[in-house]
Amino acid sequence: MSVPNNHGNTNDNLPWVEKYRPESLDDVYGQTEVVTTVRKFLEEGKLPHLLFYGPPGTGKTSTIVALAREIFGKNYSNMVLELNASDDRGIEVVRNQIKDFASTRQIFSKGFKLIILDEADAMTNAAQNALRRIIEKYTKNTRFCILANYSHKLTPALLSRCTRFRFQPLPRDAIEKRISNVLIHENIKISDDAKDALITLSQGDMRRVLNVLQASKATLDDPANEEIHADVIYECCGAPRPADLKTILKSILEDDWSSAYYTLTKLRSTKGLALIDLIEGIIKLLEDYELKNELTRISLLSKLGDIEYSISKGGNDKIQSSAVIGAIKTSFELEAAQ
């Protein structure tokens, strides 16, 4: 669990996700609504139990830690208990920890203590029900903040006791603003298309952005003078480059079966590409294709969707590669015959 870090003594050994964790609510980007509402609760002195949910890397943990720091300042460690529900601990341990924490006397009386329960959607229903009773029991002097990726994995009883906030994937401009600070601080340069690729590939996950950026910097021989190019970003993400995708798609559409199969497998093995990422990339490319008949698109997407599902179920790689070629070829042949 993260301890509030002290940016005063910048630690260069820290992974960037820790180094650039928002220190205050002002550093939380792209979640304006959440931040303003939570701030308002604070000003009014009426903090309810909170539930933050949304995809990974959108700032749930960072926001509650920053909020707690604003409330408690240097008493943070006395007043805040951070628990991770996905740790291999039964509800009994959690219950005891919460009980010990909530029932010790408050030396710095500030109304309430805060318990942060991270990854609560990993808890069983039984544990969640037990938690519901714990929340009720200690509401007088504690506030709970529950963090989860999916709200539908939480029991309704738990949901109804919290004020819910959904964290959105970070919008482009928020990511851009955030990384501009990091780039200056780390003294690195990045080309425009690389930045664009980084933001697109991260899909609003700021943790991914920071990890990929740090990995990309590590590949440079001379970070002070070199620039990060798009190729490096694709490589660090393990994502196919648009040029490679175009080569594969072109070969499938224009060449005979065996050449197409050869191109696809060759590029895959030299670039180490996962079939699933290829399909995703091809679907993106096809978005820009103008088709005579929308039915082509519909049937193709549904076939590719089936293949994606088969892969996730552990389908044979060779067979699924052939299926991708088959799906695209047949759909476009039908289109041409129109």
Under 8 Å CB-to-CB from 101, ≥6 apart: which residues? 81, 113, 115, 142
Determine the residue type at 284: K
The answer to whether the beta carbons of residues 98 and 138 sit under 8 Å apart is: yes
The minimum distance between CB 57 and ligand ADP, in angstroms, equals 5
172-186 and 192-202 are packed helices; what angle lies between their axes, rounded to 10 degrees? Answer: 120
Whichever of 63 and 214 has its CB closer to Mg ion, that residue is 63
Whichever of 2 and 302 has its CB closer to Mg ion, that residue is 2
Whichever of 55 and 242 has its CB closer to ligand ADP, that residue is 55
The minimum distance between CB 172 and ligand ADP, in angstroms, equals 13
Whichever of 64 and 328 has its CB closer to Mg ion, that residue is 64
DSSP bridge pairs for 80:
114
Q: What are the C-alpha distances in Å from 98 to residues 14, 95, 137, 332? A: 30, 5, 11, 61
- Could you say which of ligand ADP, Mg ion, none residue 281 binds, taking C-beta under 5 to 8 angstroms by partner kind? none
Binding residues (CB under 6 A) for ligand ADP: these are 17, 20-22, 27-31, 56-62, 167, 170, 178, 206-207, 210
Whichever of 3 and 126 has its CB closer to Mg ion, that residue is 3
- Could you say which of Mg ion, ligand ADP, none residue 216 binds, taking C-beta under 5 to 8 angstroms by partner kind? none
The minimum distance between CB 300 and ligand ADP, in angstroms, equals 34
- Could you say which of ligand ADP, Mg ion, none residue 178 binds, taking C-beta under 5 to 8 angstroms by partner kind? ligand ADP
Residue 299 CA to residue 289 CA, distance in Å, equals 15
- Could you say which of Mg ion, ligand ADP, none residue 22 binds, taking C-beta under 5 to 8 angstroms by partner kind? ligand ADP
Residue 59, both tokens: 């700032």
- Could you say which of ligand ADP, Mg ion, none residue 20 binds, taking C-beta under 5 to 8 angstroms by partner kind? ligand ADP
Nearest residue to Mg ion by CB is: 61
What is the distance, to the nearest Å, from the Cα of residue 308 to the centroid of all Cα atoms in its chain?
Answer: 21
The minimum distance between CB 191 and ligand ADP, in angstroms, equals 23
Whichever of 59 and 240 has its CB closer to ligand ADP, that residue is 59
Under 8 Å CB-to-CB from 227, ≥6 apart: which residues? 189, 190, 191, 194
Whichever of 59 and 281 has its CB closer to ligand ADP, that residue is 59
Q: For the beta carbon of residue 261, count every other beta carbon within 10 angstroms.
A: 19
- Cα-based torsion angle of the residue sequence 306, 311, 316, 321 in order, rounded to the nearest 10 degrees: 70
The answer to whether the beta carbons of residues 128 and 155 sit under 8 Å apart is: yes
Q: Does 61 bind Mg ion (CB under 5 A)?
A: yes
Q: Does 62 bind Mg ion (CB under 5 A)?
A: no
The minimum distance between CB 188 and Mg ion, in angstroms, equals 26
Task: Using CB under 5 A, count the residues that bind Mg ion.
Answer: 1
The minimum distance between CB 10 and ligand ADP, in angstroms, equals 14
The DSSP annotation for 252-285 comes to HHHS-HHHHHHHHHHHHHHHT--HHHHHHHHHHH
Residue 295 CA to residue 280 CA, distance in Å, equals 20
Nearest residue to ligand ADP by CB is: 59
The minimum distance between CB 95 and ligand ADP, in angstroms, equals 24
Whichever of 62 and 331 has its CB closer to ligand ADP, that residue is 62
Pinpoint the alpha helices (H) of the chain: 16-19, 32-43, 60-72, 76-79, 91-103, 125-138, 156-159, 172-186, 192-202, 206-219, 230-237, 242-254, 257-271, 275-287, 294-312, 317-337
The minimum distance between CB 134 and ligand ADP, in angstroms, equals 22
Which residues of the chain form contacts with Mg ion (CB under 5 A)?
61
